[in-house]
Structure 1
């Protein structure tokens, strides 16, 4: 063989090896955010960071439509795409490169978006918390034209309108402030304007996890092989949905339901989520999320409780277990940007406008100075008084909007892990809000060496870190496995009310798939009627914080005042709740 022939063979072999390696490298959408002018609605710019790009430009899909390559700009691993709102609808965005398909990310064409501060745009305040220096949000009075008034105020104070949550009349301003003294002076002056209802100051301590490190260290986790969800009849509910619903021959088919998780991302390189790439449409179970680097991330574990593949390691997704019988579930993971609580609300508004029926909020905050059940200071997820005041007004406006425009949407919120009181006004948000559209979930775990029946109140015990009181609607298993990248290997056990919350959110989605006519107050009634019990019976007079949830009432036990459950706290029973949803549909016939 000639030298030239050898060279050709070597080059061909190298090309094949490079091509093969490119084919094996996963294609992942890691960041997808609005960029450019966030106030423009009809023509939107979106910037995305992609891992695994080859030399050629991938095909971009939005829903069933292909985005023209003329609308896409590339700079290394970053893509910028321009979307004309008249030509597309909100939907899953994913990339296709030959045989490779990326994870799909929900791209909303709604127009609630806010900016996050960069590393040089935050400072420590007097409480030692990181706070935004030049970005604030203002809540404009409802009788005002929000954008017009925000622009007037921006011009008056030398600021600029850079973001908005228009349905709530909330607008984000970039102030001409270089330090906290200048910011606070401007906040005081802007807040005194008659057209301004409230000013929201963002404090950027990581609210993404509901775990309290101090309590996690003190509190013993369950054994890696313990079946925490057995306490909520998880598998019984799956079996009932799969087998009993078709056998009843009811005059309906389970309906598709869309769920929103306010989380950052999901690791699609884990065995739990390995088959969620590319196009997905109901009646399948679909998960739309940005890709995470860490397999044990908060969002991955929360999403896994709903949608993880079965028997492959890590989690066992409740809704994934219903896939063959249900009408399908779309699980959308999004938190808009890293702009804290304001971004959480912006993402929630977009998701609701895009048709989400159930919102999972596995997050919450305590005010500086909040006390736990022993009278000690709460040391997790703290915010200053001035920040809490703004957040309270923002959340109130969100729930007022929800009641007026979307009364069929239910929000499920974690009670928190501060061993404190979930419903104490001004000290815990958002769980302290009293509204029919907000359900609050506490956490429990199995007792060691318990040989009791599952419906015995002593079968479980409250997680000592879980927040309590009358505002908690129900408790659920607080511990779950994280996902792993190795098939068949279970991840570490993570505990917190963050992981109890999606159990309830997933159950509500399943109930709504059976009877979409159920409204939030009816869902709460069915949850409480079906609940098992936990804790002691205090006859409605909680002592030493033993009132773990609102006590079960006689009206929730067939008006039998002497029922053994009356006065006790409520524990999730997934099987009976699904059965009551079926019965509610049967009565409509």
Structure 2
């Protein structure tokens, strides 16, 4: 059995600011003596554009000759996984191990790489070069649509860096300086909590609480059966994750060429089957087998117009890279972005008044991130008002809407939908639409900024067929349930705008939590309480005042009805 061919790393190298002639560096596992053929979308890349050193390949592409698309390798009968190669030009550098240091909060932080947000009335590139020249720095990366430029400072330690950051920040042309602190993957629980929430049993049907199978059945049978029949459209979804393990049974058949009308997954290959990206992507796209995860969009394959699931995190440069990847994906036509990540400020409190101890960032970093995210959402509203970002509320048992303490979920914009997590309750014999059918997962962040809750637990993918995947829980895994559903709704009616999508989700929602959510003293608002306007203006509807729980089947039904209704 020959070793499989896997594309493990794909990133821009050389001059990141050069948009015409782009250099790309690849790391490939399983290369033979001969260099395999490389394909970008439908085009074969000429062999003279490819250089090889051992397991590493380097490509030079002229961006005028190609379009963004999936890149994969073909070596006789062996095909690799495909990763998305974007010809858009937002790229930032990640720091190496010798370019970081521990700050006073004990957090890992970048020493010489910082980014400056230039005021929008200035020519960003020109101004960045001027500042670089003035302070002895070099411009090494950019997110030009947001007027953000990354500088490498002449700083050897944090004292020198902070001095330069202060001076840069006081320049009139600089809106904010963004410093980067370590990674921002939303782990299940980054620290061990004294009261670790219980995970459900392996055989617990968590997704029944969101009517997952009912929704798949509805889409397969009712969408083609409507009069006139609906022709579902293809939809692109972006997942801000690192990679996916293509050696699992869930993803084994996504190798080589793939194009709608089937579901496609484009990602770098991961080495572990139970990593964050594989589980998040699996909730959307895993094969329906007896083991591992089960992908919602994959279940719609025979009926849908196809879904392209693009897993992309740019370089590993933390939040700045997440935003760079998001900008490129949106410019490449993504309608739904899945952000299963978020951060808390040092000093954030949980609902019991104790310190949150996971995914912390210092005050100076949070200030920069806040400005960066604000620029991103302003740009999104102006240039791409039809894109929706789905974000996890977080697992700090805290408040997702306290703006000085939690990002990005505290932002108030129609284009950001925040998802909390629930688990099946101990009550047996209750109907699925009973509020007691599911309970808030005790570590899920809550409050009025959360738009909806979804099942927080999923099965990890496995390497062998017939194996039971371990149960993973967290708001990270509730988020793609909602992102996948929104993509399915958009495939039915591509005209739906972000605020309409939110409205349909909440109008179709089942409930969770106790009543009387309007009264602050005894309320535990798991989400924004359901309003009379979301229940046909019936003031005495039993759902009013309760929190919202995702109903996937009803939401699809409302999306189908929305095609005929003029608002």
User: How would you bin the TM-score normalised by the shorter chain?
Assistant: over 0.9
Which residue of the other structure, out of 339, 352, 360, is the alignment partner of 1:374?
352
Aligned to 1:10: none
Higher helix proportion (structure 1 or 2): 1
Q: Corresponding residue for 2:559?
A: 581
TM-superposed CA distance for 1:184, in Å, is: 0.3
Inter-partner Cα distance in structure 1 for 2:141 and 2:429: 56
The answer as to whether partners of 1:362 and 1:413 remain within 8 angstroms in 2 is yes
Find 1:87's aligned residue among 35, 48, 65.
65
Structure 1 runs, 4 residues or longer, greater than 6 Å off: none
Q: Does 1:305 align with 2:271?
A: no
SS across alignment from 2:436: helix
Q: Within 5 Å, give how 1:44-59 maps onto structure 2.
A: 44-59=22-37
Counterpart check, 1:61 vs 2:48: no
38 and 555 in structure 1: CA distance in 2 versus 1, 3 angstrom threshold:
same
Written as runs of structure 1 = structure 2, the 5 A alignment for 1:107-122 is 107-122=85-100
Aligned to 2:320: 342
Q: How does 1:216-295 map to 2 (within 5 A)?
A: 218-250=196-228, 252-295=230-273
What's the offset of the Cα at 1:490?
A: 1.9
CA distance 1:586–1:281, shift in 2 (3 Å) = same
CA distance in 1 between counterparts of 2:40 and 2:310 reads 15
**1:161-195 deviation digits (Å, cap 9, x = unpaired):** 00000000000000000000000000000000000
Q: Does the 8 Å CA contact 1:373/1:544 hold for their aligned counterparts?
A: no
Q: In structure 2, what is the Cα distance between the partners aligned to 1:217 and 1:316?
A: 29
Q: Distance in 1 between matches of 2:214 and 2:378?
A: 37
How many correspondences in the alignment? 567
8 Å CA contact retained: 2:446, 2:527: yes
Residue of structure 2 aligned with 1:418, choices 389, 396, 399: 396
Q: 1:411 to 1:210 in 2, by over 3 A?
A: farther
Q: 2:340 aligns with which of 347, 362, 365?
A: 362
Q: TM (normalized to structure 2)?
A: 0.99
Query: What do residues 26-68 of structure 1 show as CA deviations (whole Å, max 9, x unaligned)?
Result: 1000000000000000000000100000000100000000000
Separation (CA, whole Å) in 1 of partners of 2:194 and 2:248: 25
- Map of 1:180 onto structure 2: 158
Aligned to 2:461: 483
| 1:127 partner SS | coil
Note the C-alpha offset of 1:208.
Answer: 4.8
Measured in 1, the distance between the counterparts of 2:516 and 2:190 equals: 28
- For residue 538 of structure 1, report the CA deviation from its aligned partner: 1.7
Deviation at 1:249, TM superposition (A): 2.8
Q: Compared with structure 1, are the counterparts of its residues 210 and 112 closer, same or farther at alpha carbon in structure 2 (3 Å cutoff)? A: farther
8 Å CA contact 1:210, 1:416 repeated in 2: no
Is 2:434 the partner of 1:471? no
The match for 1:395 among 373, 377, 385 is 373
TM-score (norm 1): 0.95
Q: 2:122 aligns with which of 130, 133, 144?
A: 144
Q: CA RMSD in A?
A: 1.2
Query: Offset at 1:251?
Result: 5.0
Q: Provide the C-alpha distance between the structure 1 equivalents of 2:566 and 2:300, rounded to a whole number of angstroms.
A: 23
Q: Indicate conservation of the 8 Å contact 1:443/1:463, yes or no.
A: yes
Decide whether aligned partners of structure 1 residues 480 and 522 sit closer, same or farther in structure 2, where only a CA change above 3 A counts: same
Instruction: Tell me the secondary structure at the aligned position of residue 315 of structure 2.
Output: coil
Tell me, yes or no, if the aligned pair for 1:421 and 1:468 is still in contact at 8 Å. yes
* C-alpha distance after superposition, 1:75-110 (max 9, x if no partner): 000000111101100000000000000000000000
Of residues 179, 203, 208, the one that matches 1:201 is 179
1:315-326 matches, within 5 Å, as: 315-326=293-304
- Does the residue aligned with 1:213 lie in a helix, a strand or coil? coil
Contact 2:184 2:342 in 1 (8 A): no
Larger Rg: 1
- Equivalences for 1:430-441 in 2 at 5 Å? 430-441=408-419
CA gap 1:210/1:173 in 2 versus in 1, 3 angstroms:
farther
> Separation in 2 of the partners of 1:288 and 1:57?
21
Deviation at 1:143? Answer: 0.2
Structure 1 residues 396 and 492: CA distance shift in structure 2, 3 A: same
Find 2:547's aligned residue among 561, 566, 569.
569
Q: Which residue of the partner structure matches residue 427 of structure 1?
A: 405
1:425 to partner: Cα distance: 1.3
1:126 maps to which residue? 104
Superposition pairs of residues 497-512 of structure 1, within 5 angstroms: 497-512=475-490
Q: 1:523-557 CA deviation, whole Å, 9 max, x = no partner?
A: 00000000000001124124466110000000000
Greater displacement, 86-95 / 304-313: 304-313
State the partner residue of 1:190: 168
Choose 300-309 or 530-539, whichever is displaced more.
530-539
Give 1:403 shift: 0.1
Q: Is the 8 A contact 2:72 2:256 kept in 1?
A: yes
- In the other structure, the counterpart of 1:329 is 307
Q: Deviations over 1:196-229 (max 9, x none)?
A: 0000000014535353432496211000011100
Structure-2 separation of matches of 1:308 and 1:587: 34
The answer to whether the 8 A contact 2:340-2:391 is kept is yes
SS in 1 for 2:250: helix
CA deviations 1:407-447 (Å, max 9, x no partner) are 00000000000000000011000000000000000000001
| 8 A contact 2:422–2:456 mirrored in 1 | yes
Distance in 2 (alpha carbons) for counterparts of 1:539 and 1:415:
19
Is there any run of 5+ residues in structure 2 with no aligned partner, and where? none
After superposition, the Cα gap between the structure-2 partners of 1:571 and 1:67, relative to the gap in structure 1 and judged at 3 Å, is same
**Contact 1:137-1:201 within 8 A present in 2 as well:** yes
CA–CA distance in 1 between the matches of 2:110 and 2:228? 55
